[in-house]
């Protein structure tokens, strides 16, 4: 069965310093992976997605993630944090259901990013 584990429930960084949000996945096949962001009282916005093309994926707002099959990881990074990056981030895997052959999104538990001035 497919699953994702976000290794940190909270990450705190200073403005202007790098961001690293960690995600490990479990999948019996090469999965599609996504990072979504949720700002307070807002819906979820797609940051980036990996669908078996280039392993380094660039997303919006300067975020990028690297798919590492050997480590089963898909960590999200950004070189320099802005105050506006403060939000909750979800690592997501697309899981194939053997019951109905459909794809479902499986969400990690989320990482809350705090950016200090």
Q: Does 84 bind other proteins (CB under 8 A)?
A: no
Q: How far is the CB of 46 from other proteins (least distance, A)?
A: 5
DSSP class per residue in the chain: --EEEES-SEEEEETTS-EEE-EEEE-SS--EEEEEEE-TTS-EEEEEEESSS-SEEE-GGG-EEEEETTTTEEEEEESS--GGG-EEEEEEEEEE-TTT--EEEEE---EEEEEE-
Q: Does 106 bind other proteins (CB under 8 A)?
A: yes
Q: How far is the CB of 36 from other proteins (least distance, A)?
A: 8
Q: Does 103 bind other proteins (CB under 8 A)?
A: yes
Q: Does 89 bind other proteins (CB under 8 A)?
A: no
Q: Does 97 bind other proteins (CB under 8 A)?
A: yes
Which x/- pattern over 36-55 shows residues binding other proteins (rule: CB under 8 A)?
x-----xxxxx--x-x----
User: 7: buried, middle or exposed (CB in 10 Å: 19+, 13-18, 0-12)?
Assistant: middle
Which residue ranges make up the site for other proteins (CB under 8 A)? Answer: 31-32, 34, 36, 42-46, 49, 51, 90, 94, 96-97, 100, 102-107, 109-110
């Amino acid at each position: 069965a497919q699953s994702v584990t976000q290794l940190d429930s909270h990450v705190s960084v200073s403005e202007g310093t790098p961001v690293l949000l960690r995600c490990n996945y479990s999948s019996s096949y090469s999965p599609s992976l996504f990072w979504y962001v949720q700002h307070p009282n807002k819906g979820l916005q797609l940051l980036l997605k990996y669908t078996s093309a280039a392993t380094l994926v660039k997303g919006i707002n300067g975020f990028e993630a690297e798919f590492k099959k050997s480590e089963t990881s898909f960590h999200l990074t950004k070189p320099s944090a802005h105050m506006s990056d403060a939000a909750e981030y979800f690592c997501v895997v697309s899981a194939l259901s053997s019951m109905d052959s459909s794809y479902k999104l499986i969400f990690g538990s989320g990482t809350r990013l705090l950016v200090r001035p």
